Structure 1
Amino acid sequence: MTEETSSSSSYLRRLGVWSGAAIVVGGVIGSGIFRTPATVAERTSSGVPLLALWVLGGLLTLAGVLCYAELGSRRPHAGGIYLYLREAFGSLPAFLFGWTMALINYPGSVAAVAVTFADYACRAVSLPAFWVKPVAVGAVFFIVGVNLFGIRAGSLLVNLFTVLKLAAIAMLLVVGLVLAHGHIGNVLAPDPSHVISGGAWIGALLPVLFTYGGFHYLNDMAGEVRDPQRTLPRALTLGLVGVVVCYVLANVAYLVGLGHAGLAASKAPAADLMSNIFGPSGATVMAIGIACSTFGYCSIAIAGGARVLQTMGADGMFFRSVGQIEPRWRAPQVALGVLGLWTIVLILTGTFDQLVNYTTVGEWLGHAFGIATLFWYRRQFGAQSSPYRVPLYPVLPFVFVATVLGVITATVINTPHDAGMSLVIIALGVPVYAVWRNWGKRRSV
C-alpha cells in the first residue's frame, strides 16, 4: 500500500532503510554505553574477556534481531510484540504485554532517561539541579509535539539525534585510541586486582545484554516502513551491526585510555576519559554528547510506545479514542498525548525508577514469548513464501529464547524483590483484562 492509496485511517509508509536503521541505533544506544562498561570491567579479569562479552552480547542480540526481521516482514503493521502475541497466543497474553510495557515500562523508561538527559543538559550549561525536572518535562512536551505531525517529522528528529550520538561515540574513539596516553597493550593486559571465576561471566553478561536492549522499537512502527518485507530486515540488521561495532570500539577506547583497572574503578568512564585529556571542558563536551544520546532514545521510545497503545485501542483493549489515527498527519495523536502526559506525571512524582525495575522481568518475558511466536507462524504459514526467513531456523530463535530465559532466571536470583513485583504487576493485568472485556461487551450491546 503506497502513501497515495492508503486509507486516511491508516499509517503512511515513509520510513526507508536508513531511517529504520537510525531508529534501531537510537533505540539501543542511550546512556548505557557511557556507564555500563565500568560495571562489566568490575566483573571481568582483563580486557580480553570484557571485549569477548560485548561481542557475545552483540551476537546473541543479533539472533533476536534476525527473528524480529522475519516477524516484521510477515506482519508489517504497528504494534510489534503486542500484535504477534495477539495472533499467536490470543488477546490475554497480548493485553498483559501491553499492560506491562505500554502503560508502565515504556513511560517509566522514558521518564528515567528524560531525567538523565535533563541532568546532563543542565550540567553542560551550568544550571542548578532545580531545573532538572522542568527540563525533563519540557523535553517530553517537545518530543510529543514533534511526533504529532507524523512519522516524517519524528524520523527527522530521530535521524538528527542519532547522528549526534554517533558523533559522541566517535569522539570517544578518537580520544581513546589516538589522543589518550595509553597503549594497545592495556587491552590485553590482565588485571590482578580482578580475578573472576567462570561462573561470574553470567553476572557480567547481564549488564551487556541490558545495554543492547531497545532493538524492538522499529517493529512497533512497522506500519510506517516503506516496502517492509525488504526494508525491515535490512534496517534491523544494519542498525544492530552498527551498534555492535560502536560498542566494541568504545570499550577498546576505554581500555586504551583508562586501562582495565581504571575502567573498573570509574563511575563515569566516558567523562573520565575526556577529562583526562581535556580537563573540565572535556567532561562538559561529553555531557552534551550523552544528553543528545538520551534525548534521541526518548524520541524513539515515545513514538514506538504510542503505536503499541494505538494498536491496543483499535483492538478494544484500551480506550477507543486512543486507537484513532489523525487523518491529516497519520499520527496516533491521542496515544501520543496519553503516553506523554503519563510520562510527565512519573517525572514529577519521581516514581519511575521502581516502575522500570519492577517491569524488567515482564519486558524480557515479552521478548521471549514474542520470539516464540515465530515457531507458531512457521507452523501455521510455513508453506507460504516469505521474502525473508531467519537463517539457521530453528537454532537462532531457540538460542535467543533460551538466552532470555537465562537472563530472567539470573534477574530473579539477583533481584528477587523486583522480579516478584514484576510478576505481581503482570498478574494484576488479568482482572483488569476481564473488567475491560466486560465493559467493552456492555458498550457494544
Structure 2
Amino acid sequence: MTGGPCDRPMTQSSDVRYAARLGTFSGTMLVVGGIIGAGIFLSPSIVVQRVGTAPLTMGAWGLGAVVAIIGGFVYAELGARRPKAGGTYVYLREAFGTLPAFLYGWALFLIIGTGAIAAVAMTGANYLAELLGLPAEAGRPIAIALIVVLTALNVAGVRIGATTGNVLTVLKLSAIALLVVAALVLSPRADAVLPVAAVPVTLTPPTGWSDTIAAMGAALVPVLFSFGGWQQTNAVAEELVDPARTLPKVLILGVLIVAATYLLVNMAYLRALGLEGLAASRAPAADSMQIYLGPVGRTLITFGIVTSTVGFLSMVILMSARVYQAMAADGLFFRSMAQLHPRTQTPVSALLWQGVVALVLLLSGTYGQLLDYVVFADWIFFGSTAATLFVLRARDAARGEHIAVRAPGHPFTTVLFVAAAGYVVIGSVVSNPGNALRGAALLALGLPVYAYWMRQRSRSERSP
C-alpha cells in the first residue's frame, strides 16, 4: 500500500487556522442535525413491513439506538485522541495510511457528501414547493437556491453556518415534539381516516427464532441508515472550544437525544396509525398529524420536514468541506482547497467546489442513482473508522499517552459496532449486487487519482 501509518500531513502554506468558536450547544445541534434528516419520516413504514409486529418494530429501533450509542462512544474516544479537522479522514490516515483515507475523501467528494447534498436539497425543495402551493417543477430551482444560499452562509463563517443549523435543528425538534405530544396525548378527530396503500400491504410476523433474527436483521438496515450521521461532527473538531473535552460530550448527548426522539416518534406513529396503517403509509408523520389536528397538523409537520431536511443539508455542507480541506493539506487534493480564508477562517475553496459538484449532480439528475451505488461504502468507512480505535489506542499506549475519555466496553463494544456496520454492508450488497459492483467501480476510480496526487506530493517535497 502506498502511504502508511507514519504519514503526516503537509504543512499548509497559510498561517490561518480554524477558529474555535463552537460550544457545547452548537456541537450538540451539529450531531442532532447531522443525524435527523428525512429518514425518520420515511423508514418506519419499511421497518414495520419487515418485522410485522409492534414489539419487534420498537425492538429494531431500540437495537439501532444501542448501536448508535456504542458508535457515539467510539467516535468520542477517537475525537479525544485526535481532535483534528477532518475527523474520519484523519483517523483512517493515522491508523491505516493515506490510501484508505483518500478513498474516503474521494467517495465523499464525488458522491456520498455531494450526492447527499443534492438529494436532500431536492427532498426539502419538493416539500417546500408543496407547502407554498407551487407546481412540482419549482422543486429544482428551489433546491439550487438552497445549496447556493447555505454554501454562502457557511463561507461567511463557521458561527453563521452553525447558527443557521442550530435554528433549523431546534425547529425540527419542535415539530417532532408536536407530533409526539399530539399522538400520545390527544384523541383522534372524528373524521380521521387511516391511510390506504395503493398496493395492499400484507404483514407476516416471523415465526420461530430463525425467522425473527432474519426479519430483525432486514429491519436494521433502514434503522441504522436513519441513525447514521453523528460521525461527521468529528470533522469540525478544531472549531469546537476545548475539543478534547467538548467533542465527546456533544457526541454522546446528541446521539442520546436522537435515540430518544426516534423511539418516541415510532411510539407516536404506532398509536396514531396502528400497525397496518403505518405499514401502508407513505407519509406517516403527515398522516399522524392529520388524524389528530387535521389539515393544520399536516401543514405544520410538512413545515417540520422542510426544516429537518434543510437543517440536515446545512450540516452536511459545513462538515464535509472540512474533510476535503484536510485531504488537500496533506497534498492529496487541489492546493487551493487546503487554504482557509484569512477573515472568515473557513475552507472557502472546499465549500465552493463542493457546491459546484453538488449542483452538477442535481442538474444531471444522477445523484439518486449514484447514491444507491455507494450506499454500502458509507458503512464500510463507518466500520473501518471504528476499527482504527484498536490501532490508535495501542500506538498511544506505546508512547505513554493516556486520555480520560474511553469507549465503555472496548474492545467488545467496538467489535459489536464493526459487526453491525459489516451487516449493513452485506445487506446492501445482497439486496442489490449490481449497485454494489458499480459503487466499487466508482471507488476504484479513486486509485489512479490517488497515484497522481502522491506523485504530485513527492515532487513538491523534493522541490526546494
CA distance in 1 between counterparts of 2:80 and 2:303 reads 37
Aligned to 1:359: 374
2:243 corresponds to which of 206, 228, 240: 228
Aligned to 1:122: 129
Native 8 Å contact 1:124 1:285 kept in 2 = no
Would you say 1:33 and 2:40 are equivalent positions?
yes
CA distance in 1 between counterparts of 2:363 and 2:444 reads 27
CA distance in 2 between counterparts of 1:180 and 1:220 reads 44
Native 8 Å contact 1:25 1:243 kept in 2 = yes
Q: Which amino acid aligns with 1:324?
A: Q
Give every structure 1 segment of 4 or more consecutive aligned residues whose post-TM-superposition deviation is greater than 6 Å: none
Would you say 1:219 and 2:234 are equivalent positions?
yes
The CA deviation at 1:103 is: 2.7
The CA deviation at 1:53 is: 0.8
The CA deviation at 1:11 is: 0.3
Q: Which amino acid aligns with 2:238?
A: G
Aligned to 1:186: none
Uncovered stretches (5+) of structure 2, i.e. residues with no partner? 1-13, 190-200
Native 8 Å contact 2:324 2:350 kept in 1 = yes
Aligned to 1:301: 316
Aligned to 1:60: 67
Residues 46-125 of structure 1: pairs in structure 2 closer than 5 A = 46-125=53-132
Aligned to 1:194: 204
2:412 corresponds to which of 375, 395, 404: 395
Native 8 Å contact 1:8 1:330 kept in 2 = no
Native 8 Å contact 1:104 1:355 kept in 2 = yes
Aligned to 1:322: 337
CA distance in 2 between counterparts of 1:328 and 1:142 reads 19
Aligned to 1:423: 440
1:240 corresponds to which of 255, 264, 282: 255
Q: Which amino acid aligns with 1:26?
A: G
TM superposition score normalised by structure 1: 0.94
Aligned to 1:3: none
The CA deviation at 1:262 is: 0.6
* Counterpart secondary structure, 1:216: helix
Aligned to 2:165: 158
Native 8 Å contact 1:110 1:302 kept in 2 = yes
Native 8 Å contact 1:15 1:226 kept in 2 = yes
The CA deviation at 1:218 is: 0.9
Aligned to 1:262: 277
* Counterpart secondary structure, 1:148: helix
Q: Which amino acid aligns with 2:394?
A: R
* Counterpart secondary structure, 2:445: helix
Q: Which amino acid aligns with 1:70?
A: E
Identity across matched positions, percent: 43
Q: Which amino acid aligns with 2:419?
A: A
* Counterpart secondary structure, 1:43: helix
CA distance in 2 between counterparts of 1:88 and 1:142 reads 37
Native 8 Å contact 1:176 1:256 kept in 2 = yes
Uncovered stretches (5+) of structure 1, i.e. residues with no partner? 1-6, 183-190
Native 8 Å contact 2:52 2:205 kept in 1 = yes
* Counterpart secondary structure, 1:306: helix
Q: Which amino acid aligns with 2:425?
A: I
Native 8 Å contact 1:230 1:387 kept in 2 = no
The CA deviation at 1:442 is: 4.1
Aligned residues: 431
Q: Which amino acid aligns with 2:121?
A: A
Residues 137-216 of structure 1: pairs in structure 2 closer than 5 A = 137-181=144-188, 193-196=203-206, 197-198=211-212, 199-216=214-231
Aligned to 1:188: none
Native 8 Å contact 1:123 1:284 kept in 2 = no
CA distance in 2 between counterparts of 1:228 and 1:278 reads 43
Aligned to 2:143: 136
Native 8 Å contact 1:38 1:263 kept in 2 = yes
Aligned to 1:348: 363
User: Residues 421, 180 of structure 1: CA spacing in aligned structure 2 closer, same or farther, 3 A cutoff?
Assistant: farther
Native 8 Å contact 2:188 2:291 kept in 1 = no
Aligned to 2:17: 10
Would you say 1:380 and 2:395 are equivalent positions?
yes
Deviates most, 255-264 or 382-391: 382-391
TM-superposition CA deviations, 1:377-423 (whole Å, max 9, x none)? 11111231203111111111111011111111111111111111121
Q: Which amino acid aligns with 1:52?
A: G
Q: Which amino acid aligns with 1:427?
A: A
TM-superposition CA deviations, 1:99-131 (whole Å, max 9, x none)? 112332100011000000000001001011111
TM-superposition CA deviations, 1:419-444 (whole Å, max 9, x none)? 11121122221111112222344455
TM superposition score normalised by structure 2: 0.90
* Counterpart secondary structure, 1:78: coil
CA distance in 2 between counterparts of 1:286 and 1:50 reads 23
